[in-house]
Structure 1
Amino acid sequence: MSYMSHGAGSWQDPAPIPARHRRRRRTVHRLAHNEPVNDQLSPLQGFHALRTDEGRALLDEVRGTAPADELAVATRLRRTHPAGLVSAALGQARLRRRAEAKFGAADARAMFFTPNGVEQSTRASVAAYRAERMRALGVTSVADLCCGIGGDALALARAGIRVLAVDRDPLTAAVARANAEVLGLGDLIEVREADVTEVGTAGYDAVFVDPARRGGRGRIFDPEAYSPPLSWAVATALAAPRAALKIAPGIPHEAVPAEAEAEWISDGGDVKEAVLWFGTGSPGGVRATLLPGPRTLEGRGLPDPAVRPPGRYLYEPDGAVIRAHLVAEVAEELGGGLLDETIAYITADELRPTPYANAYEITDRMPFNVKKLKALLRERGVGNLTVKKRGSAVEPEELRRKVKPQGPNAATVFMTRVAGAPTMLIGHPA
């Protein structure tokens, strides 16, 4: 016997369902293209909505909204605006607040951002320095490959350089184009949505490549796992008159191509990036540049400094100097040596000013001993304690909890090694 479905023409009626077991039918309203109605917009839809008159007005209205007030503001605005647009505006306002540290308040409040764009874009001060170096090299046009939200393209254009900015992600390219427009640089920046490996750069004075160095699991440390790989970027650079490749500052020196000049850049004491330069006339050169300034230290191929007993002063080189392996150049300038052959602390008997290291006057030296350190700090009335470490397994916060500093005075303790022995050096900024 064949059974027919319980529809029209079925051979028997289904038994009635008790009321307590009945489920209410849920009506799903559908649009003409048969997709369910959804208050949420895709990131690209949300961005385009923010570019409308209503979106711009809403961005002005939510500017300055504190995180704790977002729910109340969203509830109020959704009475008169589409929910998806309100969410997009609040999200963009949040990104703009985060971006102020990189781009400054004036630019960040006018620009558009994506979460990845805020995280991965170049700090404006670093981008401006690199653009100025490009200009000084005679560059008038640059192909900016993997342009992201356009941070480097904006800096290049402000230096008077014509830019082709390329990114394959539709939202990212749209944001870069909008940023060029809102900052009045649209005449100098052409944004193209394309795969950078398929874009010709023959008509440009220079190429700038900023490969993606983050994946689904966070930072990517293997240069060949960048997107695009470093080998592709190097080949592209070698085919151009001049080029700059932005890479992670932790790149091993042995991975730097022989044709490149390597530069490590710090801003306010924090190492931000490394750049491989091509066509500068200094293949194999090494530089450390400190911002603001800029102040640039060039490598001279000096041998490692000698190890010597601690002097009156300890110098802590800037991170860019350490990454560039230029500690020897700074030690020679200071007339000092190393506390330990594996530790980048310089010691000297004289105080000499240098932009490339912070100086501390050392008042006490003792073998590693928490109880003795605690007693010394109590005797000196030290409540404001700065803990620095190199070559020590002790974590600063752990040490601070153990010694429980109390009092009106300040001190700095260095947890390090002296000629291989765990040592504590106590002092203060000189």
Structure 2
Amino acid sequence: MKEIKKYLNKKFNDNDVIILACSGGPDSMFLFHVLKSINKKIKIVCAHVNHNIRKESNEEYKYVEDLCNKNKIIFEGYVIKDRITNNFEDTARKIRYKFFNNLFDKYNAKYILTAHHNDDLIETVLMRISRGSNLSGYIGIKKEDGRYLRVLLDISKEEIITYLDDNKIKYFIDYTNTDASYTRNRFRHNIVSKLKEENPNIKNKIIQFSKELKMYDDFVNLYIKNHRFIKDNILDLKKVLKEDILVIKKCIELIIKEIQKNNQLDVSNNNINDIIDMLFSKRSNIKINLNNNFIAKKSYDKFMIIKEIKRKSVLKIFNDYYEDEMWIIKKNLTSESNSNFEILLLEKEINLPLYIRGMKKGDVMEIKNLGHKKVKDIFIDSKTDIDERKSYPIVVDSQNNILWIPGIKKSKYAKDKEEKYDIILFSERKKNN
């Protein structure tokens, strides 16, 4: 108890907002009282989920709500109204964590605290060994994992119960924790007990196993961070393909994990192996379909996992301003740069109005001092993503002369700043695109 409080007092500052996941069971009630007793003046938001599968659930909901009101703590409750018919454990967990994450954003919180203890850690490690996982997964439960903080991993269930009983703190027991139809319960009551017969010290051995794996995992994560293989959740293939396969695989896992913070994305080991094969392929543009409309995509020297977007070719009159999901093109009064993101034109040399359209088959641009070149080849030379090309905004005049491919190439109609011009167009590619 003292060590936990000491850790939390160092971790938190006055006025920090903390989301506490509180079921009313012994573990979360223990953590509730720990948080109340620390020195820092934090703001606690108590998050309770009623799974609505036991008649006692409503009583527990009401008790936690009243306890919060009595202690002037914000209470946020969520009732699962629709009956969960498939894979209850996994589905209920996803619902809970979505609720917690929403509260984290709502209150601009610093952490979400859950009351996992070392018995939970042991069960999780064994379950993941049984079904298969990756290096990070075999660790089990991490004490600090992004916005989630699990401060009870160094104490056992037995220690928690003893403290609550000694201090006469009320808690509820969920009878479904003995139901053998749930995977975790079978491991808790059958597998762990058998392992204890083989080695009475098995719990400490598994905890040490988890800590060893975490050291290796932390080392690889730091190596990836220091070498900047990933930027904006996009993998730099020029850099990373020189590395060991362990580093490449870990980079893919980190990209997936970042997406999973806000999206439903399940990626199998076979998917990972297919992605690795794709990265080493000589083909410049490849994609693999994942679930929930996500695709794993190699585009020249970049790898990313994104939602697949069906892009449509555009044709619009340019009225001084154009915007789509990727680009902003506007008319300016003054010149801002001499890059391919800006073009200077002379009205009498072109045919107004201007249009913005997508690429067409056979498109050719006449480039100053370089002659004619196919737009398709310009896109290839600039390593423009193959899925972007059809919808990439191209500026043409009313006679369909291609004037400008923003950010990539200017035509023979482009003027230098020393020449005469009366039209200034500026383009900006939106961030994360």
Provide TM-score, normalisation by structure 1. Answer: 0.30
Between 1 and 2, higher relative CO (CA 8 Å, sep ≥ 6) is seen in 2
Provide TM-score, normalisation by structure 2. Answer: 0.30
